[in-house]
Amino acid sequence: MDHKKLEALLHDMSLKEKIGQVFQISGQLLVEDAAAMGPMQEMGVTKEDLALAGTVLGVTGAERIQNIQKEYMEQHPHHIPLIFMLDVINGYRTVYPIPLAQGASFQPELSKECARMAAREAAAAGLHVTFSPMTDLVRDARWGRVMESTGEDVYLNGLFAKAMTQGYQGDGLAGAETLGACVKHFAGYGAPDAGRDYNTVQLTERTFREYYLPAYQAAVDAKVALVMTSFNTVNDIPATVNKTLMRDILRKEMGFDGVLISDFGAIGETIAHGLSSDRADAARRALEAGVDIDMMSGAYPEKLEQLIREGQVKEELLDEAVMRILELKNKLGLFENPYKGADAEKEEQVILCPENRALARKAAEQSFVLLKNDGDFLPLKKEEKIAFIGPYVNRKQLLGGWSFLGDAADTVTVEEAAREMASDWSITFAQGCQVLDPETRLVGFGNDQETCGSPDDQQALWEEACDAAREADKVVLFLGEHFLQTGEAASRGVLELPQVQQRLLEEISSINPQVAVVLFNGRPLDLRLVNEHSQAILEAWMPGTEGGPALVRVLTGGSEPVGRLPMSFPYCVGQVPVHYDEFPTGRPYHEPDQNRFLSKYLDIPNRPLYPFGYGLGYTAFAVSKVRLDKQEMTADETITASVTVQNVGHRTGTDVIQLYLHDVSASVVRPVKQLKGYQRVTLEPGQETQVSFEISEEMLRFYTADGTWASEPGVFEVMIGESSAVEQKAEFLLR
């Protein structure tokens, strides 16, 4: 449909119809029963409002969506199709690793493939839009939603935001196998005070722009279809009604021209924030800020008609929002094909097909991070007698807290994979304990409580595990968080494993000190106890449907762990928020300096236990000193920085060589280092290669003291190494 026809359609719509287009309803409200009436009354929503709503949240399935779309369009005055949206975060039914784990791969193109795969499955099931990618910068492991981000680094997050957006959207939104992407949460949601979800955010203007906006900008530059508002405040104004943030920064400065949607109920929540006086005031503020779709607060359908008729809100603002929604529906091709992509036969064929499972397995393998490997404990050897022990040995819930459409029954567990892939190995299996402490109660989506069994049952599990440890040459403990201990509304003040698992670790390691630990979690944890009682640590995150086979391959040496930490693992919770690109302060501390009057703790180190970019493999690499092809450059020149990398181990391996830069003296304080590039190199034993990076003036820019985005002449340090802990450096001068 051309734009003139869209304008004519908009002109012909009644005020009620237009207000319907800017309201998103939950799929449960489409079912006319008692369960739906309560939420409808709370929102002030009528059956007429439901009949005119423009978009739907949380419905899926090709046949179901086709039926809903057909019935809706038949009764709609202008037969305008619905858009069906859902959180497809790390896969639809074939679930690949959580986004934080994808960040650990340092391979945005792999995430692009995964997003494309998810789009194929979801589109066949009738969906049009996913609420992904989440590009919030995250530096506080207490915040549960770090699992949805790709980590603490500005540069890396931007690469993944672009890749995921392109993966979902493909060559065009109208394609039968594509989804519209929605970047979230705009803006600064990843920096809540005290790591507590939905809490206030306090960021300086410079920090906000230089660190938190770039990943959103990367998605906007990739032509992301939608942006979602965040729950938090920005400059003490809730983002959802922040006109400066949405109209001036997002639309004018960043160039976003798509649909802006609120998060769930966020418009109404501005009353609780203490900004909006009532629901009418909230609706007015949100529309004036440019929010096109009210997701489930009901403030728009309840209040906009009265506000417009009384002249408190200009109808032109509503028309502007409706036109953007109609344009999105047009880009999705829904006016020509309201059932775009929905195909029950294809849905059956593509979901969990071998090709998709293979990609999920590859993504999982590439995300694992080897944190410790004393004495080359891993990989395991076929001649060894091995015990696989722990609550995650045969656990199917490896999907993550936001994998709504994933079915744990589809997951291949570690034990299932080992029995098939290592059937001729000597491996015994024992659960040992439950995931959670008996007194822990989690409230989440659906029936999520763990059953602990009777005390006798628990004791039997414990004794079985101890017996297995005694008989083994090596023990691999599979431990981790419950999947509902991360994700939305899952902030934690203690970042340790559940106590029952800590006791299992201590007991098993006392019986047999030859212990490796495999971790399943959605956030950085305090691993001091794990580090103390293990010879090796493998971070597996929440690896998805094919997590079991991927782990068995890595543990048995079929492939090597190649992941690198996308987020620093703190020494303890007292350090957080902790990140590698910190400011030096006026009294910087460098271990083991004994001067009391420096920026340090008295009882813990400054450095995290495991820093950003860190990860081991099954071989070792040596990285030479940094070489520069010249010592000075002007703004229109470049400098090439190089190192020689050699595999000094005994097997072929892959390393991630990382480039960090530091502006030594500037008009504002600059971070001690910032990631500006990286390269993956695979070398055979004894082989070496040169790795080079081209440094341009653009890479040296920042927000200067006068607020401009520019570089400044001066000295810069170049660091190239295997993690953010790299210290050896070279210098050049920008003239």
Active site residues: 263
- In terms of DSSP bridges, do strands 23-26 and 55-57 run parallel, antiparallel, or are they unpaired? parallel
- In terms of DSSP bridges, do strands 385-389 and 426-430 run parallel, antiparallel, or are they unpaired? parallel
Amino acid at 339: Y
Instruction: Give the integer Cα–Cα distance in Å for 388 and 83.
Output: 47
- Sheet hosting strand 474-480, strand order edge to edge: 369-373, 536-539, 515-520, 474-480, 385-389, 426-430
Instruction: Give the integer Cα–Cα distance in Å for 96 and 114.
Output: 7
| Surface-to-core class of residue 699, CB atoms within 10 Å of its CB (0-12 exposed, 13-18 middle, 19+ buried) | middle
- In terms of DSSP bridges, do strands 233-234 and 23-26 run parallel, antiparallel, or are they unpaired? unpaired
Paired strand residues for 429? 388
Instruction: Give the integer Cα–Cα distance in Å for 733 and 713.
Output: 7
In contact, 334 and 81? CB cutoff 8 Å: yes
327 secondary structure, DSSP code: H
**What tokens were used for 730?**
């070279």
Instruction: Give the integer Cα–Cα distance in Å for 576 and 141.
Output: 7
The Cβ of residue 447 has, within 10 Å, a number of other Cβ atoms equal to: 5
- Max distance between CA atoms of the chain, in angstroms, equals 82
The DSSP result for 306-321, as a single string, is HHHHTTSS-HHHHHHH
Instruction: Give the integer Cα–Cα distance in Å for 366 and 210.
Output: 29
**What tokens were used for 110?**
């792999």
| Surface-to-core class of residue 200, CB atoms within 10 Å of its CB (0-12 exposed, 13-18 middle, 19+ buried) | middle
Give the C-alpha distances (Å, rounded to integers) separating 39 from 4, 26, 85, 280, 489: 38, 10, 19, 18, 21
Kindly calculate the radius of gyration of the chain based on its CA atoms and give it in whole angstroms: 27
DSSP-derived 3-state class of residue 203: coil
The DSSP result for 83-150, as a single string, is EEEE--SSBSSSB---HHHHHHHT-HHHHHHHHHHHHHHHHHTT--EE---B------TTSGGGGGS-
Amino acid at 469: A
**What tokens were used for 177?**
């196998």
Give the C-alpha distances (Å, rounded to integers) separating 445 from 63, 86, 484, 689: 24, 15, 9, 50
Q: What is the residue whose two structure tokens read 């392109």?
A: 166
Within 8 A by CB and 6+ apart from 677, the residues are 155, 658, 659, 693, 699
DSSP-derived 3-state class of residue 715: strand
